[in-house]
Amino acid sequence: MDNIIESKVSQWLDGQFDADTVAAVKKLQQENPDELADAFYRSLEFGTGGLRGIMGVGTNRMNKYTVGMATQGFANYLKQAFTGEIKLAIAHDSRNNSRYFAEVAANVLAANGIKVFLFESLRPTPELSFTIRHLGGQGGIVLTASHNPKEYNGYKAYWNDGAQLVPPHDKNVIREVEKIASIDEVKWSGGEANITLIGKEVDEAYLQMLKGLSIQPDVIKEQHDLKIVYTPIHGTGITLVPEILKRYGFTNVHVVEEQSTPDGNFPTVVYPNPEESEAMSIGLKKAKELDAAILLGTDPDSDRVGIAVKDLKGEWVLLNGNQTAVLLFNYIIEGRRQKGLAGSTDYVCKTVVTSDLIDVFAAQNNVKCYNVLTGFKWIADLIREKEGKEQFICGGEESYGYMIGDNVRDKDAIASVALICEMAAYAASQGRSLYEQLIDIYVKYGYYKENLISITKKGMKGAEEIAEMMRGYRENPPTTINGSKVVTLYDYELQQVKSLNTGEVKPINLPKSNVLQFVLEDGSKISARPSGTEPKIKFYFSVNQPLENAAGFDAATKALDQKVENIIKDMKLK
């Protein structure tokens, strides 16, 4: 073990740490020196999204002390940024230690003279975003590690608009957190009178807001007995999803009992992630047994939702995030127009790696579609920029996150579940399934099909290999991919888009991000985006072709799948 690690371990053994922590460090010393080294070889990094890591003792773990130090840094910056009374809301999910970490954060903020509104028990992340704005607060914190395995927990910081931190606040908070060199600099207690417990009254305000998002409540009255199966996958969705469906008017909702109890051990799944078929398998079984119309599943903090429906053969299929986004955006845009709710300044927003089909039908419905970098904080940043000038309708990204209306400034699975079920009710009122509705959209606007692969390169060498891949693509972009000419190169790191036909270069008015996109002559698009937190690079593929009628759907699907495979092969990604 090197000297730096040994020095950190000694600080924890000799410092003002509680007896249980000291005992746990000593046990690792004696029984598992490799794990001890991993727990102390670095400090858990407070990134632009906050903290996320494995729970346990050590500087590289989520524990009372890393949470407390991060909160002290956040408190210091809040006091620099705001004068007068500062109010913060805190929520947490069902993960092990989430409540404890929420109370630690509340105590540190309160000891710093900050007024804290702490939820009495677990609540969805989107409700935390809503609460900041509802209470006129200056920020918020939610304790969650989203869909990570059970060993993890995390800490996300929010600003006064209910959104996660963006420049300059993200970097400024990181700087303040990094200045906290010792637990002795943390104010751990002494301001308990500054903490107020909140719960039902905020739930009620949030639910009323969600009810107001309904576009066609009359359709639900007609289709109120639509058979819905819902699983919270042991998370926070159980607190509000059944209630909002009830308030929307749905009377035939079936909760997956095996996954209905909040449990940080997630006993029925490997990953509590609605993107994974394994996590949705128990719900699928119930949906088949009941011959339901739709299955929905939310992740532990209820900001993302996955759905399953029956295909044209009556077989249950999980829709991917792009397909759900296409259905939801289209329903909201067309529904608002049909109901006379559409306005001349309406706009939608998606990330640059989300289906371009949304751009197509938005344009044909005279609705602006803006594209931003990956992450809902950038959608929220655009809302802030357009506030008072243009009307935000909905936003989304391919990774199962959607936002309806601007009262919540983060992805919101509670709102999404409600609108997706309303959308299913509308389809049923037209004698259609959601799957048929999706094919109808393809026939009308073009069949866009997306795929994603992740390539992991391990260790320091892996990170260098990924950097070299991006450098090669940037400096020597391919002239053709799968026999189709590359016509446009989007470089979000250089903040420019270049026509490879004419050499013309135009600026991209977005923050810098290490993302490249190749647009081909045949309309295909390939995006390359390295992970910022692990040695992994993601490639997003989008291919399209016209679809004359529903009868040609299977053949078109086969052709587009083959095109993606050919692109992957030509780029030597497999």
CA distance 436 to 123: 35
Alpha-carbon radius of gyration of the chain: 24
Which 3 state secondary structure label does DSSP give 276?
coil
How far apart CA 308 and CA 290 sit, in angstroms, is 14
Nearest alpha carbon to residue 154 among 98, 235, 197, 219: 98
Residue 545 token pair: 């072709």
Residue whose C-alpha is closest to residue 93's, from 174, 152, 44, 164: 152
455: helix, coil or strand?
strand
Given 98, 129, 146, 416, the catalytic residue: 146
Q: Report d(CA 258, CA 245) in Å as an integer.
A: 20
Residue 61, helix vs strand vs coil: coil
- CA–CA dist 259, 282 (Å, integer): 8
The amino acid that residue 166 corresponds to is: V
What would you measure as the largest C-alpha separation in the chain, in angstroms?
73
Does 542 qualify as catalytic in the annotation?
no
3-state class of 9 per DSSP?
helix
Of residues 37, 21, 19, 41, the one with CA closest to residue 29: 37
Judged by DSSP in three states, 189 sits in coil
* CA pair distance 314, 319, nearest whole angstrom: 14
Please give the single-letter amino acid code of residue 549.
N
Burial 74-113 (b: 16+ CB within 10 A, else e): bbbbbeebeeeebbbbbbbbbbbbbbebbbbbbbbbbbbe
Q: CA 536, CA 50: separation in Å to the nearest integer?
A: 20
Indicate which residues carry an active-site annotation.
146
